Structure 1
């Protein structure tokens, strides 16, 4: 049984006229008549009572009409699924998120093989602008951020560690407090949200701020050669550098930073957004 025959039959049933049905289908009338007759032969029943002046549905025809409409609607849903593009997710990223990105992307690809993931490395301010322009679907940003017009969803937390030169005496400790480092100059990150998170975490601790750090590697290299300075950085960032000249020490009391998912309101399909959030959340 062909979908074409069902479609022609439905059209005739709606018009109750072979000529008008043929015009709606943009084909010749004999083709419509042939397909309807073939459908009746396949089903073994008459679907239409027709004479030179009228066309009427039989009782069987009315039942088949309902089923035919349902079948054609189901076929169109199948075609729509095929026409739909894969869920392309353009993710804005920044330095220091390698491990989380690798884990999150592995989860997404395993659970949602239809996803096509595109990573775009941009400073936070440019990520926000790209989201507003529709050039990104979401961004992963650490620290507090104000982004009117965007959804900001807290997704994970991670500890901040004190980074000191291995030549500094505190490097031998298992942990330090901010007060232990009061005689050193703090190299705060230049990334705005991370800078704000670090300075907010320090509060009124009296830490001495030096010039802002540049890239992730800059403070690591500089602190490694200058035991008079230190940095407050996510622990994963320090581990990613592989430097043997600095030591990453947990803080007492602990200081953490929040990682956020930014996305335009109602832009990313809901199922895509839920899957991405779950992929980048903290592992229980």
Structure 2
């Protein structure tokens, strides 16, 4: 059944006049009559009573009317949806993000897309960087928000940078200091992410500590910031975390700036081989330069 036949039926049902219905559809009256007659033949029911007094719906036409409206509205919705998918304005975008991005970065980075692309559905999953990169290569994700570097073949752009801070147990002597220097970390037990979960984070800290002559030998490892801070509260060691982790405010944990200021980047990564209009539109809403939120110096 053609949608245009149902549209002809609805126009006549609304106007109860073939001439006005034809003008509404922008066609001549004979083709309109032919469409209605064809629909009646396909349905094997009479939809209208026609006489010298005018046009009225038959009981069958009245019964079918609401169903016809829903079908035409559904077809219009599908047409608009397809147009939106072609243009990138609608559809579903699968986004991965490291856990620490949820504290501050994600709400700010995703706000413009939610405002500018209200019909684009964003599904966000917490995933560590290596898992995101794997998912991008297998087309299970559309966009990853990871700690760089990305892998060869993927396209990456830094969209967020925030300073690292030191998380200390409340009784620790350095908890009362204005800031903690890299040299202060010498001999201190450290609680860190395992390199397998965050190679970019690990390698950045390794380079930073090596410059101060300190070997990166963590006393404990944790896959999530909350677990890391829990271990810090228990006295297992000092943690090095993004400044946005301070929103957690765990009992028994104090945060102090790390000097010299060391920034941890967050990058938006895509697979150019699976690029879609929706990915392009989403990327256009992200900042051209990395956002540097207010944080400890």
Please tell me the TM-score bracket, short chain as reference. Answer: 0.5 to 0.7
Deviation at 1:218, TM superposition (A): 2.5
For the structure 1 residues 104 and 138, does the alpha-carbon distance in structure 2 shift closer, same or farther, using more than 3 Å as the test?
Answer: same
Q: What's the counterpart of residue 256 of structure 2? A: 249
**Structure 2 CA distance for partners of 1:240 and 1:279, relative to 1, 3 Å:** farther
- The answer (yes or no) to whether the contact 2:225–2:241 under 8 Å persists in 1 is no
Q: How does 1:78-157 map to 2 (within 5 A)?
A: 81-84=80-83, 85=85, 86-98=90-102, 99-142=104-147, 144-157=148-161
Q: Which has the larger radius of gyration?
A: 1
1:231 aligns with 2:231: no
Gaps of 5+ in 1: 9-26, 28-78
TM-score (structure 2 length as normaliser): 0.63
Structure 1 residue 275 and structure 2 residue 285: aligned? yes
Q: Which ranges of 4 or more aligned residues in structure 1 deviate by more than 3 Å?
A: 1-5, 79-82, 276-284
Distance (whole Å) between structure 2 residues aligned to residue 277 and residue 127 of structure 1? 21
Q: Secondary structure at the match of 1:201?
A: helix
CA contact (8 A) 1:107 1:279 kept: no
Q: Secondary structure at the match of 2:133?
A: helix
Q: Tell me if 1:206 matches 2:216.
A: no
Shift of 1:187: 2.1
Q: Which SS does the other structure have where 1:223 is aligned?
A: helix
Tell me which moved more, 272-281 or 161-170. Answer: 272-281
Are residues 1:186 and 2:190 paired?
Answer: yes
Query: Given that residues 143 and 269 in structure 2 are in contact (C-alpha distance below 8 angstroms), is that contact kept between their aligned partners in structure 1?
Result: yes
* Equivalent position SS for 1:187: strand
Give ranges in structure 2 of 5+ residues lacking alignment.
1-22, 32-37, 39-77
In the aligned structure 2, how far is the partner of 1:180 from the partner of 1:153? 33
Mapped contact 1:188–1:198 kept (Cα < 8 A):
no
| Residue correspondence of structure 1 range 52-67 to structure 2 within 5 A | none
What's the C-alpha RMSD, in Å, of the aligned pairs? 2.8
The answer to whether the 8 A contact 1:157-1:257 is kept is yes
* Number of residues of Structure 1 aligned to a counterpart in Structure 2: 211
Partner of residue 162, structure 2: 158
In structure 1, how many angstroms separate the alpha carbons of the residues matched to 2:80 and 2:288? 24
Maintained 8 Å contact 1:156/1:282: yes
